[in-house]
Structure 1
């Protein structure tokens, strides 16, 4: 869906009913899908328009940098150093979303380990 969906009053009522069913656990959905549906239906139940956009399997450096929480120039340096695979389409660099998400998981793990190490050091020093 690329155009906004503007709910009618009937759509709003149906969204409210479906939200009630989700909250009662009457629909068998994975937790992630249930959360997504709850967010979407909450907006519709409030009478708000929504727009759903599919995420491309390949993304550019701007999108990847935003996802990773780093600057685009830093990401480009990481790409050129081989930290993350990419391909060039003309002058642009394209990465597979799964590679970016894997790299994000690796960064998140490194951050958690660094924080744990810092917390351990503080505890040893008695500054906890």
Structure 2
């Protein structure tokens, strides 16, 4: 069986693209993309599903902010080293999260693997906890009596 792979050229975020992203962000303000219509080179138009529109929204906002934007694919099962890199923690810290039952993992032979979906949910929950803690600090009365 022959497998064909369609390769897309990489895109460099130029100052011009960043300016275009800034213009889009300025026009939509605090609103998020709820729908996006794409027109192909031949004029065919399609409505992008909401999930993909959310990704495009995030991409445009990150482009507008500057810095490097990287889009890469990840396998569904990650090694503990890869999962630790995604979370920005050491491998031993990640293994402790697994052994403490805070992060699910599956065994493949003698090796632990972390599902991308579990890692993503864990990361989102951790970010929400941090955000809540920061909000509590801001709301606390630091001025005394």
How far, CA to CA, are the matches of 1:106 and 1:119 in structure 2?
Answer: 20
| Structure with higher RCO (Cα < 8 A, 6+ apart) | 1
Q: What is the count of residue pairs matched by the alignment?
A: 98
In the alignment, structure 2 segments of 5+ residues that lack a partner are 11-37, 61-70
Structure 1 residues 1-128: aligned runs within 5 Å:
5=8, 21=39, 27-30=46-49, 33-34=52-53, 35=56, 54-121=73-140, 124-126=141-143
The change in CA–CA distance for 1:6 and 1:115 in structure 2 (over 3 A counts) is closer
What is the aligned-residue RMSD (CA, Å)?
A: 3.5
Name the TM-score, length of structure 2 as normaliser: 0.52
TM-score scaled by structure 1?
0.58
More helix by share: 1
Gapped regions of structure 1 (runs ≥ 5): 8-19, 40-51
Higher strand share: 2
Runs of 4 or more above 3 Å deviation: 1-7
